[in-house]
Amino acid sequence: AERLRELTGERRTMVFFEAPHRLARTLTDLADALGPDRRAALARELTKRHEEVRRGAIGTLAADVAAEPPPGECALVVAGAEAPEPVDDDAVVAALQAALSRGLSSRDAVIEVAADLRVAKRRAYALVIEIDG
């Protein structure tokens, strides 16, 4: 489950191959780690006569599989994370001012705000210079 949490921000589509006896647990772990609303597709018997693909939110797929486990190995295709909304300069400046008011140095404020808001350190540094004036 811990390794799955590391994939929370992964923007690329992910593919998992899972045995039927572990599928329900894997879907539950994915729902916990990535959120129950992340889109996914559960495919089994690919290229065969009884090919089946179920699409939906991970949480819904987990409930479906718990109620009716599919036979055979499955391929689970999980959508990547959506791109984060861009953070405007006003939000970065406000976060920098809050960090500076807590007594952080300009350098430490830039590092903290860049990590928290996921903005480039260069951008945060340029804005902290404007604040320091």
- pLDDT over 80 at 48, yes or no: yes
Mean pLDDT confidence for 105-121? 93
Arch. (CATH architecture) of 2-78: 2-Layer Sandwich (3.30)
* 50-94: pLDDT as tens digits: 899 999 999 999 999 999 998 888 999 999 998 778 899 999 999
Q: Concatenated DSSP letters for 79-124?
A: PPPPPPPPPPHHHHHHHHHHHHHTT--HHHHHHHHHHHHT--HHHH
For the chain, domain boundaries: 2-78, 89-132
- Does the predicted model carry a pTM greater than 0.85? no
| pLDDT reported for residue 28 | 95
